[in-house]
C-alpha cells in the first residue's frame, strides 16, 4: 500500500513537472478536457436547475390532480366547433362528484374569468387575476400565507364578501400597512381582506395564474352577482385523488358517474374532458431528458478531443523519459509499477483539467444567479460526475502510453536515451 501511495506521489510530481516544463503543450492538452468537462457539467447543471425551477413552480399542485371541464388540455380528435357546443360543468355536478365518487380527497369548483381592477381608497391594482373558487381550493393548491387565512366552508357556502390577496396586489394597495380586515372594492362591491399570500416570485410555468397577482374570492358570491351562465366565466371542477387510488381507476369512475348524471347513452361521446396534470408534467420530463441527451452528445465531442490530447501528451512524456524508464527497470522496477506511474499521471492531468472546468461552471453559476432571477445550482452530484468523468478519461487516454512504457526493454531504453 505504501508503495502505491509513493507511486501516486511521484506521479503527481511528474504531472506537475509536465505542467511547469511544457506549459503551452500541457495547457493545450488540458484545454480539451477542461472544455469537455465544462460543457457537459454546464449543460447538466443548467438542465437540473431548470428542472428544479419548473418542479418548484408546479409543486403547489399535485401532479395527479384532475381538471374536469368542457375543454381538453391537449390535442383532441373532436373538432373545436363540437367542443364549443359541450355544456359547462356546474355547481350541481360539483356536489354530485363530491358526494358520489370514491377515492377523492378534495373536490373544488372554480371559475376561469377575465382580469379585473381592484381598489383600496385611491390606489388601484390593474389587470389582476380573479380566482372565484370553493373553500376546498386550499386543499388542492398549496398556498403559503404571510398574513391571515383562506375562507372557510361557511364563508364559501354563504358567499361572504371576503378576499385573499396575492403579495404584489397587497403591496400596491396597502404598501407598508397590514391589509387584514381592510376593505377593497371589486366588481363594484366592498370586500374584506382576510388573507395575504407570501411572495412566490416569477415562475417559468404557471398552471393558471401566479398567486402573487391573484385575488381569491368565494365562488358563491360571484355566482350570486352574475349567475351561472355568464359568458365571462368558464367553470371547472378540480379533483385531488387519494394517494392510494390509481389514477386510471378514478378517471374511469369520474367518466362513468358524469355520463350517468348527464344522461349520455351508450355510443354517445363524452361531452366533457377529464384532464390530468400528470400528462403535462410527463411532457416536461421528456423535454428535460432530451435536453440532457443533447448535452451529452455535444459535450461528448469535446471529451473525445480532450482524451486524444491527454493521450498525445502521455506518448510524448514516455518518449522524453525513455532513459529514466530504462534505469528504473534495470534497478528492479516491475512492469506494473511503470504502467501505474504513467496511468496515474494521465489521471492526475485529467483531474486537474476537470477541476478547472468545474471551477468555471461554479463561477458562472454564481454570476448568473446574481444577475438573473433564477437560481443556477451546481449540485454535488454533478461535481462527482465531472470528477468521475475526468478520471475515466484519464484511464482511457493513458492506458496505451502506459502499456507502451511498461513494455520497454531496459537496455534499449537506456541506450536510446544516451
Q: 260 and 353: one domain?
A: no
Cα dihedral sign for 243, 247, 252, 254?
positive
Give a yes or no: residue 77 inside a domain: no
Q: 14 and 53: one domain?
A: yes
Q: What is the pLDDT of residues 215-256, one digit of tens each?
A: 999 999 999 999 888 888 999 999 988 888 888 888 889 999
Q: What is the pLDDT of residues 47-67, one digit of tens each?
A: 777 777 766 665 555 567 889
Percent of the chain with pLDDT over 90: 24
- Residue at grid coordinates 506494473: 336
The residue from 271, 306, 333 where one domain ends is: 271
Provide the 10 A C-beta neighbour count for residue 359: 12
* Distance from C-alpha of 375 to C-alpha of 48, rounded to nearest angstrom: 11
Q: 92 and 151: one domain?
A: yes
Give a yes or no: residue 292 inside a domain: yes
Element (H, E) at 184: strand 183-186
Cα dihedral sign for 322, 326, 327, 333?
positive
Helix (H, G, I), strand (E, B) or coil at 166: coil
Judge whether residue 86 has pLDDT over 80: yes
Give a yes or no: residue 323 inside a domain: yes
Q: 246 and 297: one domain?
A: no
* List of residues 6+ apart from 201 with CB closer than 8 A: 212, 373
Provide the 10 A C-beta neighbour count for residue 244: 7
Of the candidates 379, 334, 388, the residue with the CA atom closest to the CA atom of residue 361: 379
Of the candidates 106, 313, 91, 99, the residue with the CA atom closest to the CA atom of residue 219: 91
Give a yes or no: residue 37 inside a domain: yes
- Against a cut of 0.75, is the pTM above it? no
What is the number of structural domains in the chain?
2
Domain that holds residue 320: 2-58+283-416
Confidence of residue 370 (pLDDT cuts 50, 70, 90): confident
For the chain, the distance separating the N- and C-terminal CA atoms, rounded to the nearest angstrom, is: 34
Convert 46-69 into a string of H (helix), E (strand) and C (coil): HHHHHHHHHHHHCCCECCCCEEEE
Q: 147 and 195: one domain?
A: yes
Give a yes or no: residue 74 inside a domain: no
Q: 219 and 303: one domain?
A: no
The residue from 212, 242, 271 where one domain ends is: 271
Give a yes or no: residue 75 inside a domain: no
Q: 200 and 339: one domain?
A: no
Q: 98 and 230: one domain?
A: yes
Q: 341 and 256: one domain?
A: no
Strands 189-197 and 162-165, how do they pair?
parallel
Q: What is the mean pLDDT of residues 109-120?
A: 92
Count of alpha carbons within 13 angstroms of residue 385, beta-carbon side? 16
The residue from 221, 246, 271 where one domain ends is: 271
Confidence of residue 160 (pLDDT cuts 50, 70, 90): very high
Q: 113 and 256: one domain?
A: yes
Judge whether residue 354 has pLDDT over 70: yes
Q: 195 and 124: one domain?
A: yes
Q: 115 and 255: one domain?
A: yes
Cα dihedral sign for 279, 82, 209, 111?
negative
Give a yes or no: residue 229 inside a domain: yes
Give a yes or no: residue 70 inside a domain: no
Percent of the chain with pLDDT over 70: 83
Amino acid at each position: 500500500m505504501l508503495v502505491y501511495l509513493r507511486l501516486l506521489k511521484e506521479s503527481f510530481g511528474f504531472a506537475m513537472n509536465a505542467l511547469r516544463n511544457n506549459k503551452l503543450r500541457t495547457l493545450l492538452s488540458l484545454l480539451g478536457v477542461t472544455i469537455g468537462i465544462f460543457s457537459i457539467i454546464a449543460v447538466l447543471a443548467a438542465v437540473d436547475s431548470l428542472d428544479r425551477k419548473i418542479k418548484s413552480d408546479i409543486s403547489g399542485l399535485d401532479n395527479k390532480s384532475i381538471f374536469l371541464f368542457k375543454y381538453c388540455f391537449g390535442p383532441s380528435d373532436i373538432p373545436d366547433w363540437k367542443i364549443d357546443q359541450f355544456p359547462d360543468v356546474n355547481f350541481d355536478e360539483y356536489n354530485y362528484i363530491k358526494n358520489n365518487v370514491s377515492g377523492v380527497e378534495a373536490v373544488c369548483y372554480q371559475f376561469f374569468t377575465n382580469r379585473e381592477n381592484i381598489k383600496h381608497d385611491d390606489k388601484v391594482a390593474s389587470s389582476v387575476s380573479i380566482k372565484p373558487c370553493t373553500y376546498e381550493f386550499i386543499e388542492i393548491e398549496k398556498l403559503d400565507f404571510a398574513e391571515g387565512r383562506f375562507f372557510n366552508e361557511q364563508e364559501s357556502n354563504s358567499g361572504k364578501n371576503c378576499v385573499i390577496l396575492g403579495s404584489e396586489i397587497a403591496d400596491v394597495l396597502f404598501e407598508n400597512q397590514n391589509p387584514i380586515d381592510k376593505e377593497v372594492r371589486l366588481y363594484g362591491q366592498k370586500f374584506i381582506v382576510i388573507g395575504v399570500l407570501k411572495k412566490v416570485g416569477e415562475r417559468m410555468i404557471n398552471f393558471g395564474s401566479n398567486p402573487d397577482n391573484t385575488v381569491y374570492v368565494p365562488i358563491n358570491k360571484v355566482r350570486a352577482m352574475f349567475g351561472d351562465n355568464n359568458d365571462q366565466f368558464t367553470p371547472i371542477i378540480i379533483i385531488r385523488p387519494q394517494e392510494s387510488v390509481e389514477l386510471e381507476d378514478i378517471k374511469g369512475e369520474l367518466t362513468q358517474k358524469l355520463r350517468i348524471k348527464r344522461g349520455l347513452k351508450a355510443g354517445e361521446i363524452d361531452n366533457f374532458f377529464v384532464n390530468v396534470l400528470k400528462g403535462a408534467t410527463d411532457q416536461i420530463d421528456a423535454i428535460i431528458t432530451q435536453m440532457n441527451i443533447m448535452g451529452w452528445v455535444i459535450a461528448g465531442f469535446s471529451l473525445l478531443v480532450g482524451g486524444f490530447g491527454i493521450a498525445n501528451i502521455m506518448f510524448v512524456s514516455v518518449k522524453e523519459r525513455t532513459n529514466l524508464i530504462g534505469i528504473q527497470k534495470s534497478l528492479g522496477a516491475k512492469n506494473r509499477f511503470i504502467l501505474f506511474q504513467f496511468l496515474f499521471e494521465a489521471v492526475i492531468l485529467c483531474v486537474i483539467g476537470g477541476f478547472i472546468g468545474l471551477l468555471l461552471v461554479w463561477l458562472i453559476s454564481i454570476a448568473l444567479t446574481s444577475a438573473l432571477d433564477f437560481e443556477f445550482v451546481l449540485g454535488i452530484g454533478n461535481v462527482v460526475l465531472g470528477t468521475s468523468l475526468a478520471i475515466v478519461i484519464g484511464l482511457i487516454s493513458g492506458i496505451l502510453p502506459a502499456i507502451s512504457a511498461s513494455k520497454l526493454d531496459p537496455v534499449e531504453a537506456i541506450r536510446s536515451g544516451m
